[in-house]
Structure 1
Amino acid sequence: MNSTEENILIKRTFTDVITDYYQLTKPGITMSVVVSMLVGFILGSGANINLSVLIHALIGTYLIAAGTGAHNQFMERKLDGLMKRTSKRPLADRRIGSKNGMIYSLTLIFSGLFYLILMVNPVAGTVSFVTMLIYLAAYTPMKQVSSINIAIGSIPGALPPVGGWAAATGNIAEPGMWLLFGIMFLWQVPHVLSIAWLCKDDYSSAGFKMLPKNDDQGYKTTFWSLLCVMGIFPVTFGLYQLEISGMIFLVLGIIFALGFLAYTIKFGLDRTKANAKQMMFASIAYLPLVWVAVFLDRFISF
């Protein structure tokens, strides 16, 4: 170890280390996973919410989601170092050693998995395990192979409400649960595409094959974004039609989807980075708003 590295280690406080390990879990994504799981749990529970099971599901889901985010950073630490937007991540910046990062992430993953199996039910544990497996074993390496990674990555991104429903009911056979999956999947594709359009040069420098890399005019990016946002409307209506959610959710869900669609169309008509950023912010706003609509509809109805 040279003197520069020694000085860096000396200056780092306990708080710095804790902060880095926390950032390793991708806290924003992890909390989104937990909230999406909560939505699935509440809708799956109907009129009877088991608070004890819910708390255990939240804990187990948080652990496995945090571990998955951390292990993704472990796997991509060298590539993250090549991109401006990720070069300061703890593993990419070598503030955490790769071995420590691996042990930390795997500990979180398997702690969460066993916790869900033992304290919730095996079905919920299996859904979370499959989510983690697709994300790490399929989506993460596929990012360097083909732009189809966006569709693959949207599968684990859409499974948290399925995990929540499984935690509440012990099964994954009910159609309402898969409509929630549909909303998450259809939302995630344009969300990721907007980020990829904004960061296409950065992604290319690291060798990631996101769709905009081979779509200079943005026609494919626009087509898939519009197709997925348009698909949100029938899925939203389906939740109402099956009486899983009521009129409050239907009205608010349609309004929020229209807002998302408006910014997607704006990007499609003029594919600038400014419009891509607006589409990204519209996608960021859409998901929490639609989940708020779910909660309002659920608790006002009951």
Structure 2
Amino acid sequence: MNSAEDNILIKRSFTDVITDYYQLTKPGITMSVLVSMLVGFILGSGANINFVTLIHALIGTYLIAAGTGAHNQFIERASDGLMKRTSKRPLPDQRIDSKSGMIFSLSLIFSGLMYLILLVNPVAGAVSFATALIYLGVYTPMKKVSPINIAIGAVPGALPPVGGWAAATGNIAEPGMWLLFGIMFFWQVPHVLSIAWLCKDDYSSAGLKMLPRKDEKGIKTVFWSLVCTLSLFPVTFALYQFDISGMIFLVAGIVFALGFLFYTIKFGIDRTKANAKKMMFASIAYLPLVWIAVFVDRFFV
């Protein structure tokens, strides 16, 4: 680190430094991971929820998810510096030096792994660690290679409820957890595609090969968005058919999927940035609303 960087760091307060490390963990994504893990844990627990195990699962999952987000920023610090939406992150803005970022992120990942193995169960630890490995070792480098990265990235993005179910049951062989995986997977693809359409110039300037880069007319973007949004309907119905969730969830899930589909179709008809933004907000609203329906169905019916 040069003297100019030293001077910048010296003048910054302790609170500023803590805030930057917190931002490094991608707190929004980390919170989404925790909520999705919680849904998997509760549904996997059936009538008997072990709250001690749940607390340990939340702590261990938080550590791995936060470390994964931080290490992703460490890996992508150069390309982040080339994009307007990410150039002010702590690493490209040099508010945290790269070595410190790497040590911080890896410490979180491996401490979370050991925490889950020792205080929850090895299966939950394995699922969470696999999530981190796929995200960092496959999805992240594939962003510079092929647009298929969006489908690959949806896999680790969909694994948190599987990790929650595994934390509750110690296995990954039950159909319920994979139906939850399906909801997360099919939700995430159009969600990411809407963001990629909005930021396609930014992504291209950083050399990231998101799908809209070579899809100027948006035909492929719309096709895969519609396929995945429509797939939410049978998965939602299957959760009801397998008696994992009840009628409240079924009705609410279909209504929310219809709302998501409406804005996806609207984007498909007129592929403007304004409609892409509406589709993005519809996707942002969809997932928490569905998880709320799960909780209402589980605890209040």
TM-score higher than 0.5: yes
Per the TM alignment, residue 10 of structure 1 is displaced from its structure 2 partner at its CA by 3.2
Per the TM alignment, residue 9 of structure 1 is displaced from its structure 2 partner at its CA by 2.3
CA contact (8 A) 2:74 2:91 kept: yes
Q: What TM-score does the superposition give when structure 2 sets the normalisation length?
A: 0.99
Letter in 2 for 1:44: G
Letter in 2 for 1:260: F
Per the TM alignment, residue 47 of structure 1 is displaced from its structure 2 partner at its CA by 0.5
Matched, 1:107 2:107: yes
1:113-132 mapped onto 2 (5 Å cutoff): 113-132=113-132
CA contact (8 A) 2:233 2:257 kept: yes
Aligned partners of 2:114 and 2:9: how far apart in 1?
35
Letter in 1 for 2:205: S
Residue of structure 2 in register with 1:257 after alignment: 257
1:53-202 mapped onto 2 (5 Å cutoff): 53-202=53-202
Letter in 1 for 2:160: P
**Matched residue SS, 2:144:** coil
CA contact (8 A) 2:5 2:94 kept: no
Residue of structure 2 in register with 1:242 after alignment: 242
Aligned partners of 1:66 and 1:219: how far apart in 2?
35
Aligned partners of 2:112 and 2:220: how far apart in 1?
38
Identity fraction in percent: 83
Residue of structure 1 in register with 2:271 after alignment: 271
Residue of structure 2 in register with 1:214 after alignment: 214
Q: Which ranges in structure 1 are unaligned for 5 or more consecutive residues? A: none
Residue of structure 2 in register with 1:28 after alignment: 28
Inter-CA distance 269–120: structure 2 relative to 1 (3 Å threshold): same
Letter in 1 for 2:194: S
Letter in 2 for 1:298: R
Per the TM alignment, residue 2 of structure 1 is displaced from its structure 2 partner at its CA by 6.2
**Alignment deviations for residues 8-34 of structure 1 (CA, whole Å, 9 cap, x no partner):** 223210000000000000000000000
**Matched residue SS, 1:155:** helix
Per the TM alignment, residue 300 of structure 1 is displaced from its structure 2 partner at its CA by 1.5
Per the TM alignment, residue 221 of structure 1 is displaced from its structure 2 partner at its CA by 0.2
Letter in 1 for 2:285: A
Aligned partners of 1:205 and 1:157: how far apart in 2?
25
**Matched residue SS, 2:300:** helix
Aligned partners of 2:152 and 2:244: how far apart in 1?
27
**Alignment deviations for residues 184-222 of structure 1 (CA, whole Å, 9 cap, x no partner):** 000000000000000000000000000000000000000
Aligned partners of 1:5 and 1:263: how far apart in 2?
46
Aligned partners of 1:11 and 1:284: how far apart in 2?
38
Letter in 2 for 1:294: V
Inter-CA distance 168–2: structure 2 relative to 1 (3 Å threshold): closer
Aligned partners of 2:105 and 2:259: how far apart in 1?
37
Aligned partners of 2:149 and 2:49: how far apart in 1?
36
**Matched residue SS, 1:204:** helix
Letter in 2 for 1:155: V
Aligned partners of 1:146 and 1:110: how far apart in 2?
29
Per the TM alignment, residue 82 of structure 1 is displaced from its structure 2 partner at its CA by 0.3
Q: Which ranges in structure 2 are unaligned for 5 or more consecutive residues? A: none
Q: What TM-score does the superposition give when structure 1 sets the normalisation length?
A: 0.98
Aligned partners of 1:150 and 1:8: how far apart in 2?
37
Number of residue-to-residue matches in the alignment: 301
1:3-18 mapped onto 2 (5 Å cutoff): 4-18=4-18
Per the TM alignment, residue 3 of structure 1 is displaced from its structure 2 partner at its CA by 6.3
For the aligned residue pairs, the C-alpha RMSD in angstroms reads 0.9
Per the TM alignment, residue 255 of structure 1 is displaced from its structure 2 partner at its CA by 0.5
